[in-house]
Structure 1
Amino acid sequence: MKPTKLFYLAVLILPWLTVPFLGKNALKRHLPAAIFICTFTKIIDTFGEKKRWWRFYKGIPPFDSMNFFNLGPYLVMSLWILKMTYGKFVLYIISNAILHLLFNLLGLKLVDWCKIFTLEKLKKPQYFCINCSRALLLYGFQYIYDHNKK
């Protein structure tokens, strides 16, 4: 499969079609945390690419393929996972661990095949740990955001 501009646009746009089902209150409540974690992820992406942990394929200039993945499925999934599990920390951890494990087992092959990114120096268990750390950071940000808002 040769990636096209249409594919990258679909990766970006299709997840956003689910956002109206989140509800206005959930969107307003969790959007700052989702934006924070996507910004943090971009920083990690840049650092990891310089360290050759992974390599991103070209997307639609001036963006690489990971920008489309980060602003599409990753941001929207962050909103959904917070909506469904926030306030239930054990459920949040278990849900994220399962999602990240599935991504490690199946998703990494898919994103390489779809020409989004591929791991280079980083091993799958290390990538799993990075993802779990980001999940903790996302929850922590939302927790602090909620408590500062009160």
Structure 2
Amino acid sequence: MYLVEPAHRPSRRAPLVWAIGAAIPWLFLMVAQTVWFVIDGMDGRYGWAHLLLAAGTVVGIVVFVFVVPVWRYRVHRWDVDPTAVYTRSGWLVQERRIAPISRVQTVDTYRGPLDRVFGLANVTVTTASSAGAVRIVALDSEVADRVVAQLTDIAALGAEDAT
């Protein structure tokens, strides 16, 4: 088996879904900070802490809502051929995974609430590996269905036990 650079990107909607998913916890933090500010007031004894926490929140929002989704989209790749499933993922720490078709045990799809709203799905390929499942994230639902069908067909042709 040779090292293949995965060719396919996630859906073009993936960065938006990742950004919205990242924004939700930051929204709760902003609400909590606003409540604390209203209760304590800027002239209270923790005025410096309000400013420091607000600055940290702004930096966090910029990084995790605007930068990370775009970076992840540039890094994430996947591919499937008759011999293996290939993925590349991560943003700060990047990981490449290769799952030989002969080791595939199950192929599943997952659609969370945001995925369903934006028509996306994630494919999980479970193998007989201690490293865990290989995940292809943020695919258009139709593409995910085709990948699952393709993997099922390829694995059936191999007719090998994946244990």
Structure number with the higher helix fraction is 1
Specify which structure has the bigger relative contact order, considering alpha-carbon pairs within 8 angstroms and separated by 6 or more residues: 1
TM-score, scaled relative to structure 1: 0.31
Structure number with the higher strand fraction is 2
Query: Larger C-alpha radius of gyration, 1 or 2?
Result: 2
TM-score, scaled relative to structure 2: 0.29
